[in-house]
Homo-oligomer: A and B are copies of this chain.
Amino acid sequence: MGKLKWPERRPQEDFERILSPEGELVGERPAIDDAELLRWHEVMVKTRMLEDMGVRLQRRGVFSVAGGGPGEEAIGVGAGAALNPGDWLHPSYRQNASLLYWDIPLDRTFGALLGHAPEHVRAHLPLDPADAPKVKLTPYAVFLGAHIPVAAGTALTDKLNKRDHVSLAFIGEGATSEGDFHDGLGLAGVLKAPLVVVIANNGWSISIPSSRQTAAETFAQKAVAHGIPHRRVDGNDVFAVYSATKAGVDAARAGQGACVIEAVSYRMTSHNTADQADIYRDDTELEYWAQRDPIDRFEKYLTKCGLLDNTYKEAQRERIDIELRNAVNRALEIPATPADTMFLNHLHGDPGWLFKHQQEELAAEIAGKNPFMDFDGSGLGKGE
């Protein structure tokens, strides 16, 4: 007898789908040209390779933790592609594909995984402004769900200042249980903020299956609580994700307010490298979902369209592999983050005597001087 586990509930397939798992069109292909479709494919493949590399480097002890969303690439790409330059993208750690779609610099990504402070990474991996991501990006919310009210805020300010922009936020299905999710949607509803929230329902929140996360049939229906329209799509179908998100983005841009899209997919791996999914779930569902893999499916379609063949794919893998290796290498060359970095970017202007004193203490300590020798407020520099 196996270990006691929570039962999994396979989600209903009554969602919107355009591309079948077999790579057949079962709905209307969005009006996207072939070059862009190949870009989508490239981003999906690159995302999976990036995350693979992250996991390998974590195993080798280079990163302290790594993760990703293999099997969820269609969500990031499909939704990300629906944005315009200048729009806000509020990512989650799982939707790397959306970031790669918008060309976040890979070397900086690896720099962050190495534990460097962002200002340090930026300083050491300078970026030609022309190469900077064209959407506005926030750091992903470590406090799950906390970015939803923030996204309502960026959306509202764009609207009130009559900028033609929308805000898009990704959130895992687990994080929709946090009050923040409702706080943000409630505000966006009333204030008609141009906000699109994409719920990436991958069935699991670490060890909690979606059946234990909510009694609601779908996560999309959470929008009903706020009078916000919602759709539910096959999250492994990049066309379905794109079409629904694009419609939501267009409506938001046209002044029709917020919407919620649930993209149904599956977490094919452990939560991250610190987790061991086999403790709490069987692999019974994996095969079902492997047959629905978003990259496989898209490749079948692209192959049928004559856009892809094995030669192309091999060359692509090689190209991406080199790109990733180069990025890792650049990141590995970042010197150690100076200890003093921790004092940066707290307050603008004068941080006050006490704060500066603490900076001096650390500096003294690093210089091998006793940082505790100030007994009269006259400052340091005389230790040891």
Contact = CB atoms under 8 A, between A and B. Distances in A.
Interface of A: 177-183, 186, 189-190, 192, 212-217, 221-228, 257
A132 to B, nearest CB: 35
Given A222-B225, A225-B225, A227-B217, A179 B183 contact: yes
Given A192-B215, A216-B224, 19 more contacts: A178-B179, A179-B179, A179-B180, A181-B182, A182-B182, A182-B225, A186-B214, A189-B214, A189-B215, A189-B216, A190-B214, A214-B227, A215-B257, A216-B226, A216-B227, A221-B224, A222-B225, A223-B225, A224-B225
Contact of A215 (B180, B212, B228): B228
Nearest to A217: B227
Contact of A190 (B179, B192, B212, B222): B212
A133 B333 CA distance: 72
15 contacts: A177-B186, A179-B179, A179-B180, A182-B182, A186-B214, A189-B215, A189-B216, A190-B212, A190-B213, A192-B215, A216-B224, A216-B225, A216-B227, A222-B225, A224-B225
A75 to B, nearest CB: 21
Contacts of A217: 227
Nearest to A218: B227
A14 B181 CA distance: 29
Contacts of A226: 214-216
A213 B187 CA distance: 8
Contacts of A190: 212-215
Nearest to A257: B215
Nearest to A211: B190
Contacts of A179: 178-180, 182-183
A162 B189 CA distance: 41
Central interface residue in A182, A190, A217, A228, by most chain B CB within 10 Å = A182
Contacts of A213: 190
Contacts of A225: 182, 216, 221-225
A214 B223 CA distance: 12
A272 B195 CA distance: 36
Closest 3 CB pairs of A and B: A179-B179, A189-B215, A215-B227
A177 B217 CA distance: 22
Nearest to A189: B215
Contacts of A212: 190
Contacts of A186: 177, 214
Contacts of A257: 215
Nearest to A188: B215
A195 to B, nearest CB: 12
Contacts of A177: 183, 186
Contacts of A182: 179, 181-182, 225
